[in-house]
């Protein structure tokens, strides 16, 4: 069952946003139901609704800068930063930023990965809202929070368009303010 509650948006607008997220079965591998936000990004009204909802979260959390996780977090976080009149920090996959960088490594289902932030781009003590499209297992989000803190920032909150409840990613983010705009009870929900 999907819980549609987009941070103060009327139920009709929240339902429309959810309807713009396409379910793609068996992608990227059999048994996975991929949540494709491309139709949402292509819809001006739907995208504006999501930016408005994220902006409300940022205002409530008292944010100085917005960070987005590669890659869809860039697509959602940058317009939120713009709407707030704030800067945007891209949290990139290892090797995508010129040195010097700070990095944090984390475990994936099969292996490990790292994310990086360009040194000198985050003011010490700045309150950061980290945005991404999906909260699944929480590994990347936990690494993003750790990276912000390693660079001297304060994690004001983590905000996600969609949370897959069955994967319990929120459990890895204990101690942080976590908000999701849409929640899906199981990975097979549509």
72 part of the active site: yes
Cβ(21)–Cβ(162) below 8 Å:
yes
Q: Which two tokens stand for residue 145?
A: 């929070």
* Cβ-proximal residues to 44 (8 Å cutoff; 6+ apart), any chain: none
Catalytic residue among 45, 109, 163, 172: 109
The rounded distance, in Å, linking the Cα atoms of 127 and 52 is: 19
Q: Is 116 a catalytic residue?
A: no
- The answer to whether 127 and 151 are in contact (CB under 8 A) is no
Inter-residue contact 158 to 172 (CB < 8 Å): no
Helix runs in the chain, H state only: 11-19, 38-42, 44-61, 72-84, 139-150
Q: Which of 52, 56, 70, 72 is catalytic?
A: 72
The upper half-sphere exposure of residue 168, i.e. CA atoms within 13 Å in the direction of its Cβ, equals 2
The alpha helices in 44-189, defined as continuous H runs, are 44-61, 72-84, 139-150
Residues designated as active site: 72, 109
């Amino acid at each position: 069952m999907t819980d549609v509650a987009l941070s103060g948006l009327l139920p009709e607008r929240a339902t429309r946003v959810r309807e713009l997220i396409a379910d793609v079965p068996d992608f990227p591998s059999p048994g996975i139901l991929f949540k494709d936000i491309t139709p949402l990004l292509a819809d001006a009204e739907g995208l504006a609704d999501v930016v408005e909802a994220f902006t409300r979260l940022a205002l409530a959390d008292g944010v100085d800068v917005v960070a987005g996780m590669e890659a869809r977090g860039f697509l959602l976080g940058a317009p939120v930063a713009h709407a707030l009149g704030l800067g945007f920090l891209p949290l990139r996959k290892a090797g995508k930023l010129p040195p010097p960088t700070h990095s944090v490594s984390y475990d994936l289902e099969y292996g490990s990965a790292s994310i990086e932030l360009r040194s000198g781009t985050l003011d010490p003590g700045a309150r950061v809202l980290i945005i991404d499209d999906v909260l699944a297992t929480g590994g990347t989000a936990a690494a993003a929070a750790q990276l912000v803190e390693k660079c001297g920032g304060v994690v004001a909150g983590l905000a996600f368009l969609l949370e897959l409840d069955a994967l319990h990613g929120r459990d890895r983010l204990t101690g942080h303010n976590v908000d999701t705009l849409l929640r899906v009870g199981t990975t097979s929900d549509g």
